[in-house]
Structure 1
Amino acid sequence: MTKRTGQDETSRASAPGRTPTAFTVEPDTTRIENRRVEKTSRAPRSFSGEIEIVPDERDPFTGAASEAESLPVALPRRRRFSFARIAIGAFGFLLSLAFGLWVDRLIRDLFSRADWLGYTAIAVLAVGISALIIAVGREVAGLYRLDAVQNLKADAQVAASSMKRKDATAVVNRLSSLVAHRPETARGRKTLKSVEEDIIDAPQLIDLAERELLGPLDIKARALILTSSKRVSVVTAVSPRALVDLAYVLFEVVRLVRAMAELYGGRPGSLGMLRLLKDVFAHLAVTGSIAIGDGLAQQVLGHGLAARLSSRLGEGVINGLMTARIGIAAMDLCRPLPFRASKRPGISDFIGDLTPSMTGKSDGGTA
């Protein structure tokens, strides 16, 4: 132990030493200023005055983003007077009379053969009429629920602009009863119940109801749109026939629109579903959102990337984006309140999830 300690002291003594020096902690401002002057100072130069100002709509980098974010809000079509409806109603009434006469003659003939046949026919007719009444009642109730959603949306806009707490409270109560069947809204309904006695202005109360009641439903609606878009994009990319693509897209669109209506409390029947689909496709036809092709792929995905994509993969991505656009339109129509406190989704919100490998996004993070 004594020898090792002596060796350590000898090595420390033989190490070259240095004299203490003083230095400043503050930076040398003179050197920094000199470097800035050296970087910024340059000799005057002339340049050409031919500068072309490109408008935003012609800019390939900002045009797609602005177009995707400025998608018009889908609104239900106005019901107008139509002679076609009058003709359908008249011929339907005539066919009903003909069917009634045929049933009457059938029952008379059965009674003439045997009484038990006539009574059996009457019982079957009563069962059929009862089932028809129930089915018609359900369809009427579904149409009424769709109208209630649109009326609630209009009343919410009026209440927010009128600044009347009474009107806003009525809108919030109707909204709570409309979405009470969803378990996701239980916490929001409890929150709104706790602030009933608080002093809150009408617009802020409606915004609070939108965040608390529709916020969880909006998250689920985005998930529905994304799931349907992914399924459409994968199936149409691997499907060998265009007829199969079309059939599956129509099936997925109908299922998406029905799920969106049931999510927000619409729950339409068959007639209500046809009416809702008509409103969705009419909105897309008016806004030109159905005309999706290579131009959108080049704007959104990039010219070089779109050129490297295979034709089938490109078609799958485009069909997925079209499905997402239909889902957004259905969300606009089925949502009982307009987007005020929450951000309305756009096509750009789904592009990264539809094409993770193309945009550099993945589930684990960015590439």
Structure 2
Amino acid sequence: MSKTKKAPIVIELDTLPTKSKRTTPKSKSVLNDAHLSPADAPAIIDTPINGDAMQSVAQIAAARPSRLLRFLGWAVFTLFGLVISIAFWDFTMDLLARNVWLGRIALGLIAAMILACTLIVLRELGAISRLRKIDDLREVSEQILVQGDLVAAKKHSDKIAALLNGRDEIGWALAEYHEHSNDQFDAASQMHFTENTLFQPLDRLAQKEIESAARQVATATAMIPLALADIVIALTANIRMIRRVAQIYGGRTGTFGSWRLMKTVAAHLVATGAVAIGDDMLGSIAGGGVLSKLSRRFGEGVVNGALTARVGIAAMEVCRPMPFVALKRPKVTALMKNALVGFFG
């Protein structure tokens, strides 16, 4: 019995037309679209990451109410104070008519409340006055660097050292300043010596605060999917960061002082155009590619953290009694690198 070899089976397929005048629905046959190539697929539009949370925070902080709204706020606040005062007065008089001792206790409590409110107002005014003093010191520093007056430079440096006196974290820097302050022979050397000696450790402390705030905002944006929640967290973290930076450079801020300082920093950002993404390679690194492809929320968090770092740098420029001359202004990329290293570490 001989074995016969089986011939191969050939199945002929109808050639598909390259062009068809009649269009058919896609659901009828998949083979009708076989002539299409991947290049014919519609492009996927990747919306850029702009850091919406920090953009909203900057707009809220930089917004200045109109005169009409400020007049309305003053009128409402005055009316509310008048109503509260009359209510306290009527309550105390009625209580005195019923029982003298209870009325006296109520009067004592009201007096204690008024004293506490007065002390709070005085503290706020003192904090604002100290911030204005720092602004004046920075303006005088810029003038001395231009004029080159050695006597004025030494007097001004002593004022800055007096502002920072009593700080334990820079006690050794103050001692070194007082030891070698008279060894400088021109105004530029005197100002550079003061900046290098007194502000180098303070700049490091301020950068640590900025890195911590940037890491917190980036984490909150990446982990919390709620839009309003990340705006609230970013606003709170930025106000706390600005307050800490002001305290590092010798400023004392209360509640109203912190908000005023936040508005000053936001105005500085808007004036310098540092709110928008574009420099420090953030657009190509965070907003344009790798991180947004890996996780859009993570890329949004990195951008918001980078914008927080920019706010921190602006706070350093506003709260620093001396401008950046001898020491380099910190970079956003370096701060974000340290912040993300601390996050993953």
TM-score with structure 1 length normalisation? 0.68
SS of alignment partner, residue 174 of structure 1: helix
Aligned partners of 2:99, 2:264: CA distance in 1, in Å? 52
Map 1:187-206 → 2, pairs under 5 A: 187-206=172-191
Contact 1:185–1:214 (CA under 8 A) maintained in structure 2: no
User: Of 325, 330, 334, which aligns to 1:345?
Assistant: 330
1:250-269 residue pairs with structure 2 within 5 A? 250-269=235-254
Match runs of 1:123-202 below 5 Å: 123-202=108-187
CA gap 1:335/1:203 in 2 versus in 1, 3 angstroms:
same
Deviation of 1:342 after TM superposition, in Å, equals 0.5
RMSD: 3.1
Greater relative contact order structure (CA < 8 Å, 6+ sep): 2
Given candidates 235, 248, 254, the residue that maps to 2:233 is 248
Larger radius of gyration: 1
Residues 199 and 228 of structure 1, relative CA distance in 2, 3 Å threshold? closer
Choose which of 190, 214, 224 in structure 2 pairs with 1:239: 224
Q: Give ranges in structure 2 of 5+ residues lacking alignment.
A: 1-61
Alignment counterpart, residue 283 of structure 1, candidates 248, 254, 268: 268
Cα separation, 1, equivalents of 2:80 and 2:105: 24
1:304 Cα deviation (Å)?
A: 5.3
Q: Which deviations, in whole Å up to 9, do the C-alpha atoms of 1:182-237 show, x marking residues without a partner? A: 32322221122123443521221111111100000111111221222123223322
Contact kept, 8 Å, 1:297 with 1:314, in 2: the verdict is no
1:222-233 maps to which residues of 2 (within 5 A)?
A: 222-233=207-218
User: Could you tell me how far apart the structure 1 residues matched to 2:311 and 2:305 are?
Assistant: 10
Which whole-Å CA distance do the structure 2 matches of 1:172 and 1:203 have between them?
A: 12
Alignment check: 8 A CA contact 1:153 1:336 kept: yes
Aligned partner (choices 314, 317, 325) of residue 332 of structure 1: 317
State the shift of 1:296 in Å. Answer: 6.6
SS of 1:195's equivalent?
Answer: helix
Which one of the candidate residues 310, 319, 332 is aligned to 2:295? 310
Instruction: Mark the runs of 5 or more structure 1 residues left unpaired by the alignment.
Output: 1-76, 357-361
Instruction: State the aligned residue count.
Output: 281
Q: Is the 8 A contact 1:185 1:212 kept in 2?
A: no
* Shift of residue 321, structure 1, vs aligned partner: 0.7
Aligned to 1:274: 259
- 1:35-60 deviations in whole A, cap 9, x for unaligned? xxxxxxxxxxxxxxxxxxxxxxxxxx
Q: Contact 1:225 / 1:324 at 8 angstroms: preserved in 2?
A: yes
TM-score of the two chains, using structure 2 as the length reference: 0.72
Identity %: 33
1:319 matches 2:312: no
Q: In the aligned structure 1, how far is the partner of 2:208 from the partner of 2:167?
A: 16
In structure 2, the partner of 1:18 is none
